[in-house]
Amino acid sequence: MEKDENFSEWFDRVLREAEIVDDRYPVKGFVVYRGWGYEIARRIASILEELLEEDGHQPVLFPTVIPEDAFRREAEHIAGFSGEVFWITHAGERRLERRLILRPTSETAIYPLFKLWIRSHADLPLKIHQTCTVYRYETKATRPLYRGREFLWNEAHTAHVDFEDAERQVKKGVEIYSKVFDKLCLSYLILRRPEFDKFAGAVYSIAFDTWNPDGKVNQIGTVHHLGENFARAFDVTYEDPTGRQRYASTTCYGLGISRTIAAVIAHHGDDHGLVLPPVIAPKQVVIVPIPMKGYEEAVAEYAVEVEGVLSEGGLRVILDDDPKRRPGEKFYKWEMFGIPVRVEIGPKEVEGRTLTLVRRDTLERCETPLDGAVEAIRVLFKEIEENLRERSWSRLRSEIGEASNLEELRRLMEERRIVRVNWCGSDECAERMKEEVAGEIRGMRWDEEETPTGPCIACGGEALYVVYVSRAY
């Protein structure tokens, strides 16, 4: 089955056969992470957590439930999430006096504690993060990893002495997320969301959007400047050096681990299955013995020796010596699982004390002596990463088109492209685009300035922004 011809079926097959998640759990919108998929998730989370903690974020773990009165304290926030909340109303047969919700995001859980933890300017900046699950009753059709009612993410929350210091943290958050996605060889657009699409309660929102083979963009991370909005709602103040009480300025940002896994699968996978960047592959090398009559014992012994050499060299290795399956069956399985390098060992390799290496991204083969195998494989890892990164960015560039009128935009939307257009900034023109071409404004570039070269695509008036329009999950 070809990925670009029927992405939906291809994706579901990969999730199942590569043991990423199983969506047959008997509650719609909830999935079970299987061993291979959860190990990938843990490695992505580990990369992010290390970068956050290098920047001074303390790891925390807040309760899953938020009391209703805390949730309702930021009016704009509750308005943004009220339709997606899971309520807890009973404990056994007893109705709770104080209703609880399953966290859709954690601002309203965290700020009552920030109020207790922050006393003076010496306590700032305060930075925390947690990797956890959140719950949103999505009314759109659910899809494993892309849009669920329970999903895995990491969220960071910070408090600062003023707007400018929080602004510096926003830039740092964007930088950290960029490093994570770069390590995963993913391409992305960094977009400032339009006012009508910002995070509920934020001053402004920045998002990482990436392409998908079916033409819908996948939002994999967001960074929000909250100003003093939540601090005022929860009375989060500090004493400045003059003794004056001031409201803290805060930020929050979230990286969707579930959606990032979906992006890795969608960007790098091929008709054989997963293609994993070495940094997150649960196993980086699979050894497949190819015994022939008269060489069975020699091949088996050499395969064990090779496993020891590669493991001692710091590589994550699996030896597939299952006698019940033929080499071709093993090739199929481990190509589906996306292991970056396959080592084939037959009589020729035994006699020459060599290895045949097959890289997963191109299926190209090469040979190396056992003595230099660890270094040769690490060189292949770098080449694989460079190739995956270039392929992903090349595809993103090819997905972006430009339109100067609604007819052109409609045509490009039907081709399932990401389209660059001029926009006056009015909600009416944004809504017209959504109604007439089934595409939504995702935002304007945050990392570089783009100047309109013509009138607004919808009304013909003066354009103030260059924005990107697409369909989205």
Question: DSSP letters of 301-319?
Answer: HHHHHHHHHHHHTT--EEE
d(CA 60, CA 37): 24
Class of the 7-268 domain? Answer: alpha beta
Say how far residue 428 (Cα) sits from the centre of its chain.
Answer: 32
Question: DSSP letters of 255-282?
Answer: EEHHHHHHHHHHHH-BTTB----GGG-S
Q: Does domain 285-380 have CATH number 3.40.50.800?
A: yes
**With contact defined as beta carbons under 8 Å apart, do 250 and 155 qualify?**
no
d(CA 143, CA 261): 13
**What residue spans define the domains of the chain?**
7-268, 285-380, 400-472
Angular region, 43: left φ>0, alpha ψ -120 to 50, beta rest:
alpha
Q: Which residue has the tokens 């993410």?
A: 153
Distance of CA 217 to CAs 130, 182, 439, 441, Å?
Answer: 26, 18, 11, 11
Q: For the chain, give me the number of helices (H) and strands (E)?
A: 14, 23
373-406 residues labelled b (16+ CB within 10 A) or e (exposed): bbebbbebbeebbebbbebbeeebeebebebeeb
The CATH number of 400-472 is 3.30.110.30
Q: In a structure prediction context, what are the per-residue pLDDT tens digits for the chain, which is 473 residues long? A: 689 889 999 999 999 999 999 999 999 999 999 999 999 999 999 999 999 999 999 999 999 999 999 988 876 776 777 788 999 999 999 999 999 999 999 999 999 999 999 999 999 999 999 999 999 998 776 799 999 999 999 999 999 999 999 999 999 999 999 999 999 999 999 999 999 999 999 999 999 999 999 999 999 999 999 999 999 999 999 999 999 999 999 999 999 999 999 999 999 999 999 999 999 999 999 999 999 898 999 999 999 999 999 999 999 999 999 999 999 999 999 999 999 999 999 999 999 999 999 999 999 999 999 999 999 999 999 999 999 999 999 999 999 999 999 999 999 999 999 999 999 999 999 999 999 999 999 999 999 999 999 999 999 999 999 999 999 99
